[in-house]
Structure 1
């Protein structure tokens, strides 16, 4: 079951029929994708993702290589993608203060407005504006107190070389 997809649909107050029509597929096929009994082709995943404003790779994150996932899960590393409007389209290993179904489609400031989220959005915007990778140390007020991250951001391009957003890797720093 793709609970993240169900939660995203409900959060956007959409029906399965509306998403199926927006992605130009049959509703029954979409229902099977949502409940995990069918995997979409890359084309169909892209159509659904385009309609929902997410990255199509979300459909395949459960197929990450086991060594990669085991090495990063519960680590102090967060990997994310955002679109040109700075809305999250993919995230792996978010801080426990954030749930995946809440993060997708939102900007940092919509999730929590503070100096850290503003600085992170500014960093990603500069990367998108000039196409240059950047690295900064940013501090965020989280449940366990002020937490500093070493954030590396770079432009994100599609298979045709068009800029689609920014990718970030954030590593929690020891105090």
Structure 2
């Protein structure tokens, strides 16, 4: 899934967030439109094997009789993320304080957050990030503390791993 970050009439009021995402280090990851054929995807997942060597985990598969290896490092390189040294997860109190500064309207001690309790512009930003980067495939209305950490880091210019 790619994000379309264009300033048009329907995007009125969201220019700041669009500018932010265009200038962000994740811009390429959000907007790259790679052509991957369904047959290649099926071949990959039908033949994949998880390989571990020390701290490195790789997916290895055969696609068109060629060995394909995917690792976290390869994904970072292809998506031009340059975030290996970034924050992994913020402490809970920092998450709650940062979300409150972002206008999150539902103080909570739970580590599940809801898009509905943000201002419209933040809802757009959160939806774009969740839709583009999250493994979630069904509900885009709530997100975890890990995704909250990613959103906070992105909105404050910090690298998130």
Bigger proportion of residues as strand: 1
Higher relative contact order (CA 8 A, sep 6+): 2
Please, what TM-score do these two structures have when normalized by structure 1?
A: 0.26
Tell which structure's C-alpha radius of gyration is larger.
2
